[in-house]
Each structure stands twice: as C-alpha cells, then as structure tokens.
C-alpha cells in the first residue's frame, strides 16, 4: 500500500508537507499546482511552490515530492515540464481536478474534464518533453457537472502516457460536499490499465478501509483528513498490517511539531499571513484534539507574530521553536 499526501492549494504547502512527513506513514507527496499560462516560467517560480527541489526533490524526512502543473496549452505545458524535470523533482503530476472558479474560467483544472481529447494531448506533450525515467502522473475528479465522462477522461489520461492516476471521487459540481463516490473509481478501474489511487472523504481508518474495499484501490491519497489527524497515515498502515497495538502520535507528540511548523512559517511566510496559517491548522486539529480547540481559542484574535511565539513557548510547555532543518526560499501565503 502506498499513501500519498494530496496537493491542496492554500493548505498543504511545503510547511505542512515537512511536518506531516515527519510524523510518518506517507510514501509520497504531490505539491500544490504550479500555474502554467503562456510563458516559460523561471526556475524560481518552481522553487517557490516546491522548495524541496533544492533538496533532491524530497522533504526533510526524505519523502519524495512530485511537482504538479496546471494549464491547458499542451506546448506550454511541455516546455515548462521540461524545465521542471531538469530541476530534479520525484516526478511530474498534472492537475485535472482543481474546482476553483478562477482556474476553471481560464480552462484549467476541472474544466478540462469537458475536453478529454485536450487532456490526452496535454499528457502526451508532457510525457514526450521529460526524460523517459521521469514519472508522469495525473489527478482528476469524476467530471465537471456530472460523472458521465469519467471513464473517457481516465482513458484519455492513460492514452497520453501517464503512469498513475489519482481519482478524487467527486465532480467539480460536488465540490467538497460528502459523500465521495468511491464506487465510481471501481468502475474506472475496470477500464484502465495503470495504477489508480483513491482520494476523497478519508477522515478515519474506517473510511480508509471502506474506500479500499469499495474502490478496489490499494493506494490512497489523504488530504484534509491527515491535516486534521497527522497520525492518520500511520494508523491506516497499522490497521492494514493488523497491528492494532502500534503506538500513534497524540497531542504531546504534536506539540514540538507545532513549534517547528511555526518556525517554518516565521522564516518563510510574509508577516501579515503568519498568524492565519497557524490558526488554519489549529482549526483542523481541533476537530480531533480537544487541546487544539483550547489553543485555537487562545490565538484566534491574535495577529502579532511575537505574541503568538510567546504564547506557544508558554502554553505548550516547550523550548522556543527550533530552527527549520531545511532552508527554503521566501514565500507568500
């Protein structure tokens, strides 16, 4: 079983990739999308989204990161994929699932699910542009307005030469509303030959086990569920292995990771966005940990980074936040 960390714009960036892969259980990450329009991006644009490119394409914990491209022009996608491949990512992923209106209005992300022929040309162009040993994968939703062309879209991705496909088991119209339609992934599996990875609405170990059973997929991709419970990947792995007594990280184990996360944010995120990033993660964590609810309420109205640092040092009863173990380029939120 492989467990992948999802790309989620504005949430699962380099900082949370760093932290969550330290916890363990994750085999591979996919970055947030790098937007490709009509230009060849400079290398700094790739490093801004995927700073792991400066460290062998891996997080500090050693977990490989595939860089994700989003765009609708095959030639421009190919040019940028070639440049990106030369920077040493663990692979290149193509986004056919982003539901954001601003992306879809310009023909990117999930909007491409209305044009399977174009999807095939994009994948084929990227595949030809990068070395043969560079993995090329894709992530798609079941469709735009409905899932009537889900199999056709998946077959287009396979025909283009992708070696792996992640399927988020909802349409663009579904957004993130439950449920996820894992049974439709099973339908796709009967019609394509490459490995499929199931994604969508996996919040617990029970969800993961049911998803594997219904979808028929061995491999899973986790998003909001693992942001809420950083030990989820480990818990799933232990459950599949039948190791019910394996220790899982609780709140005490997360406390130093909160410090490390804050250190990364302070070092790399613009001052005006820093407090919001910590609150964003605590807002997810409080669904799982009562202590995170207390922490969230304590910092909810604070905007001064220095006050948050002082509060973390005192409230979590730990040493001041350690220096990040990786140097990354300055980033905006």
The catalytic residues are 98
Helix (H, G, I), strand (E, B) or coil at 96: strand
Q: Count other C-beta atoms under 10 Å from residue 153's C-beta.
A: 27
The whole-angstrom separation of Cα 160 and Cα 88 is 22
End-to-end CA distance of the chain: 33
Residue with tokens 């174009």: 118
Query: Which structure tokens are listed for 164?
Result: 């792996």
Q: 187 Cβ partners below 8 Å, 6+ apart? A: 150, 151
What length is written for the chain? 333
d(CA 293, CA 295): 5
Q: CA nearest 11: which of 176, 193, 157?
A: 176
Residue 138, CB half-sphere, CA atoms under 13 Å: how many?
30
Question: How distant, in Å, are the alpha carbons of 15, 260, 261 from that of 266?
Answer: 11, 10, 9
The span from the CA of 212 to the CA of 219, in Å, is 8
């Amino acid at each position: 079983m492989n467990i992948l960390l999802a790309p989620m714009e504005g949430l699962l960036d380099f900082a949370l990739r760093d932290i969550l892969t330290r916890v363990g259980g994750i085999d591979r990450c996919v970055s947030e999308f790098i937007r490709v329009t009509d230009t060849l991006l400079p290398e700094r644009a790739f490093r801004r989204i995927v700073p792991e490119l400066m460290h062998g394409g891996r997080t500090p914990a050693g977990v490989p990161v595939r860089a994700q491209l989003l765009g609708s022009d095959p030639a421009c996608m190919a040019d940028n994929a070639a440049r990106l491949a030369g920077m040493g990512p663990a692979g290149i992923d193509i986004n056919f699932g982003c539901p954001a209106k601003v992306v879809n209005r310009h023909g990117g992300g999930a909007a491409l699910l209305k044009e399977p022929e174009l999807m095939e040309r994009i994948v084929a162009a990227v595949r030809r542009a990068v070395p043969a040993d560079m993995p090329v994968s894709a992530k798609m939703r079941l469709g735009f307005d409905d899932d009537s062309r889900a199999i056709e879209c998946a077959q287009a991705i396979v025909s283009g030469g992708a070696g792996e496909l992640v399927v988020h088991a909802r349409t663009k119209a579904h957004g993130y509303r439950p449920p996820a339609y894992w049974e439709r992934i099973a339908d796709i599996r009967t019609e394509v030959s490459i490995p499929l990875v199931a994604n969508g609405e996996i919040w617990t170990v029970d969800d993961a086990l049911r998803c594997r059973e219904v979808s028929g997929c061995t491999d899973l991709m986790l998003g909001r569920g693992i942001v809420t419970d950083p030990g989820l990947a480990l818990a799933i792995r232990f459950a599949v292995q039948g190791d019910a007594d394996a220790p899982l990280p609780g709140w005490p184990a997360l406390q130093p990771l909160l410090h490390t996360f804050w250190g990364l944010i302070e070092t790399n995120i613009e001052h005006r966005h820093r407090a919001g990033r910590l609150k964003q993660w605590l807002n997810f964590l409080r669904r799982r940990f009562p202590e995170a609810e207390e922490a969230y309420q304590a910092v909810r109205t604070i905007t001064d980074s220095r006050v948050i640092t002082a509060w973390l040092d005192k409230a979590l009863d730990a040493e001041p936040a350690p220096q990040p173990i990786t140097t990354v380029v300055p980033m905006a939120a």
